[in-house]
């Protein structure tokens, strides 16, 4: 495999399993760097995390660097995950035309 791409479709499936209570209770750390999830994937993770983290109560750390989110999505991720979100040094998207790819 040349690339590490879960993409939007894959992250949606993962996030749905969090919402359904299948695996979210056991996850303490998510390393999702460089997997091309973009805006829709970020939105799926936020939904999967649930209000105040109810679907992932044991999550201590989430890393999403190099997924190239626009600035507004990065702000949203910071608002939801707060101190659990690792620093995102290389993440700003320059070409996400509709903001939803």
pLDDT digits (tens, 9 = 90+) for 19-77: 777 678 889 999 999 888 889 999 999 999 999 999 999 999 999 999 889 999 999 99
Q: What's residue 92's pLDDT? A: 67
**Residues across the chain:** 101
Taking the model in full, what pTM does it have? 0.80
Q: What's residue 93's pLDDT? A: 65
Q: Is the pLDDT of residue 100 over 60?
A: no
Residues 6+ apart with CB under 8 A from 42: 64, 67, 69, 73, 76, 77
CA dihedral 8, 62, 78, 90 (to 10 degrees): -70
Q: What's residue 56's pLDDT? A: 92
pLDDT tier for residue 99 given thresholds of 50, 70 and 90: very low
84 vs 4, 5, 25, 43, 99, CA distance in Å?
A: 23, 23, 16, 16, 24
Q: Break the chain into its structural domains and give their ranges.
A: 7-84
Phi/psi for 63 (5° steps) reads: -120, 125
Tokens matching residue 61: 């750390």
Read off the pLDDT of residues 5-21 as tens digits, 9 standing for 90 and up.
677 777 888 888 887 77
């Amino acid at each position: 495999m040349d690339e590490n791409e879960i993409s939007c479709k894959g992250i949606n499936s993962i996030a749905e399993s969090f919402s359904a209570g299948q695996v979210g209770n056991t996850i303490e750390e998510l390393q999702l760097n460089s997997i091309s999830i973009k805006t829709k994937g970020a939105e799926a993770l936020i939904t999967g995390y649930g209000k105040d983290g109810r679907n992932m109560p044991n999550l201590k750390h989430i890393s999403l660097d190099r997924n190239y989110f626009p600035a507004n999505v990065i702000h949203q991720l910071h608002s939801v995950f707060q101190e659990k979100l690792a620093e995102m040094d290389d993440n700003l998207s320059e070409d996400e035309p509709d903001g939803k790819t």
